[in-house]
Amino acid sequence: MDWNRMIVTDILSIKTVHFSKGGHVSILDRKCWALVLTDDGQLTYRHKNRDFLLDSNSAVILPKGQSYTILRQKEGNFQVIDFECEGFFADTFTMFSVENAKSIVKEILYLKKASLHDENRFLVIGEFYKLLHQLTQADSVGTVRLTPAMEYLKKYYTTDVDNSTLASKCYIGEEHFRKLFKKTYGMSPKQYVIHLRLNRAKQLLAEGTMKINEIAIRCGFSNPYHFTRMFKEKNNETPSAFMERSRAYGM
Per CATH, 3-141 and 146-251 having the same topology is answered: no
Give per-residue pLDDT as tens, 199-226: 999 999 998 889 999 999 999 998 999 9
User: Are 72 and 20 spatial neighbours (Cβ–Cβ below 8 Å)?
Assistant: yes
**pTM of the shown model:** 0.59
- Segments of the chain assigned E as strands: 7-19, 24-27, 33-38, 42-47, 50-54, 58-62, 68-74, 76-86, 94-97
Residue 230, judged by CB atoms within 10 A of its CB (0-12, 13-18, 19+), counts as: middle
Dihedral, 70, 74, 76, 80 alpha carbons, nearest 10:
-20
Per-residue pLDDT 10s for the chain (251 aa) are 556 678 999 999 999 999 999 999 999 999 999 999 999 999 999 988 888 889 888 899 999 999 999 999 999 999 999 999 988 887 888 888 787 889 999 999 999 999 999 999 999 999 999 999 888 776 655 676 788 999 999 899 999 999 999 999 988 888 888 888 887 777 889 999 998 999 999 999 998 889 999 999 999 998 999 999 999 988 889 999 999 887 755 44
Tell me the CA distances in angstroms from 56 to 32, 34, 79, 130, one per residue in order: 23, 17, 11, 19
> 3-141: which CATH topology?
Jelly Rolls (2.60.120)
- Structure confidence at residue 158 (pLDDT): 94
CATH architecture, domain 146-251: Orthogonal Bundle (1.10)
Q: Where are the domains of the chain?
A: 3-141, 146-251
